[in-house]
Chains A and B, each alone.
Chain A
Amino acid sequence: MVLCSVKDNRLARIWGLVAAQAARRGGRVEAGDVCAAALAAVEVTGAWLSAASGLQAGHLMQVTDEVSEQLAELQLTLGEGPSIDVAAFGGPALASDLAERESGRRWPAFAPAACQAGAGAVFAFPLAIGAIQAGVLGLYRDKPGRLSDVQLGDALLLADTATLLLLDAQAGQVDGVGEYDGHDGHDGHDGHDGLGGQQAELTRHRAEIDQATGMLTEQLDVGITEAFTRLRAYAYANDLRLADVARDIVARRLRLNPDPGLFRDGE
Chain B
Amino acid sequence: MDGQLLSETFVELTDTMVADFDVIDFLQMLTDRSAQLLDVSAAGLLLADPRGELRVVAASSEAARLLELLQVQVGQGPCLDCFRSGRAVTATDLSTDPRWPRFAEAAAEAGLGAVQALPMRLREQVIGALNLFRAAPGDFDPVNVRVGQALADVATIGLLQERTMRRRDTLNEQLQAALNSRVVIEQAKGKLAERLGLDMDQAFNVLRDRARASNLRLSDLARGFIDGTQNITWPNSGPAA
Contacts and interface: CB of A to CB of B under 8 A. Distances in A.
Interface stretch (B28-36, B65-73, B129-137): B65-73
A131 B190 contact: no
Interface in A142-182: 146, 149-150, 152-153, 156-157, 160
B66 to A, nearest CB: 8
B72 A204 contact: yes
Nearest to A211: B190
Contacts of B172: 92, 94, 152
B178 interface: yes
Contact of B186 (A3, A130, A157, A219): A130
Contacts of A126: 180
B87 interface: no
| Residue of A7, A129, A130, A153 with most partner-chain B CB within 10 A | A130
B180 A213 contact: no
A6 B52 contact: yes
A81 to B, nearest CB: 15
A91 B178 contact: yes
Nearest to A255: B194
Residues of B contacting A: mostly = helix
Contacts, number: 131
| Residue of B50, B55, B177 with most partner-chain A CB within 10 A | B50
Nearest to B72: A204
Contact of B191 (A7, A90, A153, A214): A214
Nearest to B56: A207
Interface residues of A, number: 44
Given A131-B184, A131-B223, A207-B186, A156 B176 contact: yes
Nearest to A5: B75
Contacts of A7: 51-53
Contacts of A137: none
B20 interface: no
B126 interface: no
Interface of B: 49-53, 55-56, 65-66, 69, 72-75, 166-169, 172-178, 180-181, 183-184, 186-195, 200, 219, 222-223, 226-227
30 contacts: A3-B75, A7-B52, A89-B173, A89-B177, A90-B181, A90-B219, A91-B176, A91-B180, A94-B173, A102-B166, A126-B180, A129-B180, A131-B226, A153-B49, A156-B50, A204-B73, A210-B186, A210-B187, A210-B190, A211-B193, A212-B190, A213-B190, A214-B187, A214-B188, A216-B190, A216-B194, A217-B226, A218-B191, A218-B195, A224-B227
